[in-house]
């Protein structure tokens, strides 16, 4: 199994457990997240790209993987994703730059799966 896909599975397992332990609190979070990511003034692809850039600047491996996959599924190109990375590095500096390694791994895995 691929590293990034396994990381996403681990994150989802953790969220599921938290949902079991704190169902009321997580219900609100899931509803909010779902509503925010629905297309509105911004389409789904744009929202995924914004979330990916935020994931890079916040140095969240799970966010980077999840939103790279989401951006690709929403129709983003590899070129658009790398451009988002450059903006994230401008805003997040060296720490964001180091997490471009996670983006690279995510793209390798998800683009390979897309071609298969």
Report the CATH number that the domain containing residue 39 is assigned in CATH: 1.20.1290.10
Q: How many domains does the chain have?
A: 1
Q: Which domain holds residue 8?
A: 3-115
Tens digit of each residue's pLDDT, the chain (116 residues) = 468 889 899 999 999 999 999 999 999 999 999 999 999 999 999 999 999 999 999 999 999 999 999 999 999 999 999 999 999 999 999 999 999 999 999 999 999 888 87
Q: So what's the pLDDT on residue 50?
A: 98
How far apart CA 15 and CA 7 sit, in angstroms, is 12
pLDDT recorded at residue 49: 98
* Rounded-to-integer distance, Cα 68 and Cα 46, Å: 12
pTM given for the model: 0.91
Q: Which residues contact 84 (CB under 8 A, 6 or more apart)?
A: 49, 52, 53, 56, 71
């Amino acid at each position: 199994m691929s590293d990034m896909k396994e990381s996403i599975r681990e994150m989802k397992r953790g969220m599921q457990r938290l949902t079991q332990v704190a169902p009321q609190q997580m219900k609100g979070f899931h509803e909010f997240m779902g509503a925010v990511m629905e297309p509105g003034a911004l389409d789904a692809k744009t929202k995924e790209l914004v979330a990916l850039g935020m994931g890079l600047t916040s140095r969240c491996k799970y966010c980077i993987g999840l939103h790279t996959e989401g951006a690709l599924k929403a129709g983003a190109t590899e070129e658009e994703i790398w451009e988002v990375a450059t903006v994230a590095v401008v805003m997040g500096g060296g720490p964001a730059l180091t997490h471009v390694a996670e983006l690279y791994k995510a793209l390798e895995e998800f683009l390979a799966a897309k071609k298969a």
